[in-house]
Amino acid sequence: MTDTAPRYEAVTLTVTDGIAQLTLNRPSTLNALNDAMFREIPMAITEASQAGARALLITGAGKGFCSGADLVGRPFAAPTTEAQRELNNRIGFERVISLVRGINEAPMPVVCAINGVAAGGGVGIALAGDVILMARSARFVLTFVPKLGLVPDVGATWYLTRLAGRARTMAASLLGDAISAEEAERWGLVARLYDDASLQAEAMAICRRLADGPQRAVVGTRQLVDAAPQMPIGSHILLERDIQVKLVGSPEHVEGTLAFREKRPARFAKS
């Protein structure tokens, strides 16, 4: 077991038997995003990969998943010109880009277990998973437009539009009404709902299945699924070809085929 929690201020990371758990760890703020958390989430994903993790679980400490940006702890910027303000904001937004890319480009499958409210930027983090699970008491809330005069960020509209469609995304973004777990499942935002008490165990069981699976095929499937909405079938089939030619005849494919023929579970290499 590898426990790297002392190295981080706003998250904890453990890696056990090929499964990494990254916990957003500011429970007194419902895990609000501060500078440390923006910085540490991509760092923790990189460290999990280096530690040999084959599946990554992202969840929140305490009663919430992530309440969005820390509006209480973050000081207002000093007065400046509009041009300088925009430049400062552009520089600062790089941390958002790094966070989104860190999750979306993780070299292992990502499971998000939404254990409580996911608000603001927390919605983007929650929807970035490859397998998204949600506690029945949890909810999504997009607070940007109606309460803060901002557009949704951390990739929230990219995920929501693809999963729920334009009409629901616009209404949720402009009105800021909470989306219950039941609505989230009906809209296609999450794969499965669980009772609060069983969410963690169910998420770990799914991580175990993913960690034991063929990693290159998992990551390749993510590439295909994410590319599909923006590519015509003629282009998409070429991407499918480019990924598949690297997998057919690979050690994972050979093992899977032998296991199928021998009517036994596949034993994919952990390296």
Cα–Cα distances in Å, from 74 out to 44, 119, 131, 152? 23, 17, 32, 18
What is the pLDDT, as a whole number, of residue 125?
97
C-alpha atoms less than 13 angstroms from C-alpha of 227 in its C-beta half-sphere: 17
Query: Looking at 147-202, which runs of residues are DSSP E strands?
Result: 179-180, 192-194
- 226 and 140 in a common domain: no
- 255 and 196 in a common domain: no
- In tens, the pLDDT along 123-168 reads 999 999 999 999 999 999 999 898 889 899 999 999 999 999 999 9
pTM above 0.75, yes or no: yes
Q: How many domains does the chain have?
A: 2
| 268 in any annotated domain | no
For position 225, which CATH number holds? 1.10.12
- In tens, the pLDDT along 110-119 reads 999 999 999 9
- In whole angstroms, what separates CA 106 from the centre of its chain? 9
- 113 and 240 in a common domain: no
Instruction: For residues 212 and 215, give the distance between their C-alpha atoms in angstroms, rounded to a whole number.
Output: 8
Average pLDDT over residues 235-243: 95
- 90 and 37 in a common domain: yes
Domain boundary, last residue among 173, 194, 211:
211
What is the pLDDT, as a whole number, of residue 81?
87
| 107 in any annotated domain | yes
| 132 in any annotated domain | yes
pLDDT of 5 higher than 80: no
- 177 and 55 in a common domain: yes
| 92 in any annotated domain | yes
Q: How confident is the model at residue 86 (pLDDT cuts 50, 70, 90)?
A: confident
- 135 and 206 in a common domain: yes
- 97 and 61 in a common domain: yes
- 180 and 79 in a common domain: yes
State which residues form the domain around 184. 2-211
